[in-house]
Chain A
Amino acid sequence: AQTVTQSQPEMSVQEAETVTLSCTYDTSENNYYLFWYKQPPSRQMILVIRQEAYKQQNATENRFSVNFQKAAKSFSLKISDSQLGDTAMYFCAFMKDGTASKLTFGTGTRLQVTL
């Protein structure tokens, strides 16, 4: 079974600064996908960014980028120019290819963006 570990329960960053959230995972699979989801106080789960394991290039979505290290099984999320609206829980998730797209989630990192 796959496991996803987020070792930072809480983090804080000042507005306009950059923050990196860590995620490691354990799998013996070669084909899989990795995701970062954002959960604001509204509880809605919002996809932030995704990465296919077979792609060496790190995914980028505007201010959000990842550092995907397949050999190290590491998938960190970098948020640049942090905004107050980035305050939320962030979940890292793993999806094994060909398994009905089931997600395995980490326990989350609570990010607080301050003035």
Chain B
Amino acid sequence: NAGVTQTPKFRILKIGQSMTLQCTQDMNHNYMYWYRQDPGMGLKLIYYSVGAGITDKGEVPNGYNVSRSTTEDFPLRLELAAPSQTSVYFCASSYPAGGHLNEQFFGPGTRLTVL
């Protein structure tokens, strides 16, 4: 299993550009998440999904959109990039409780800089 994979690893955007951060998991997890980590800070939840076709906002959703058409993929879309979106973005996945402790498995992160 590759686990959670993210592409690209690094990206520089100009203000106003758009891009999609890709996330794929091969563990058949129902739940998927997008977090951002600003310098010297913890991770903050942007959006999450509990299954294909179902998404919901997290703590900091403004400026982002997501979709979940398959169990495996959970892309994050940035429209009209702003310098405040400069951050490291992490995708994660987990499965519902049912004897398990809801551990989240994280991807390696995407470092995004908006200039």
Contacts and interface: CB of A to CB of B under 8 A. Distances in A.
Given A43-B108, A44-B106, A45-B106, A50 B42 contact: no
A107 B104 CA distance: 18
B96 interface: yes
Given A33-B101, A52-B101, A102-B33, A43 B45 contact: no
Interface string A88-115: 0001010101101111111110000000
A43 B109 CA distance: 7
Given A33-B101, A44-B106, A105 B88 contact: no
Interface in A65-107: 91, 93, 95, 97-98, 100-107
Interface string B81-115: 00000001010101011000111101011000000
Interface residues of A, number: 24
B68 interface: no
B50 interface: yes
B48 A100 contact: yes
Interface of A: 4, 33, 35, 42-45, 47, 50, 52, 91, 93, 95, 97-98, 100-108
16 contacts: A4-B42, A33-B101, A42-B108, A43-B88, A44-B109, A98-B97, A100-B48, A100-B56, A101-B94, A102-B33, A102-B45, A102-B58, A105-B44, A107-B41, A107-B42, A108-B42
**Which 8 interchain pairs have the tightest Cβ spacing?**
A105-B42, A101-B102, A45-B106, A105-B43, A43-B109, A101-B94, A107-B42, A100-B50
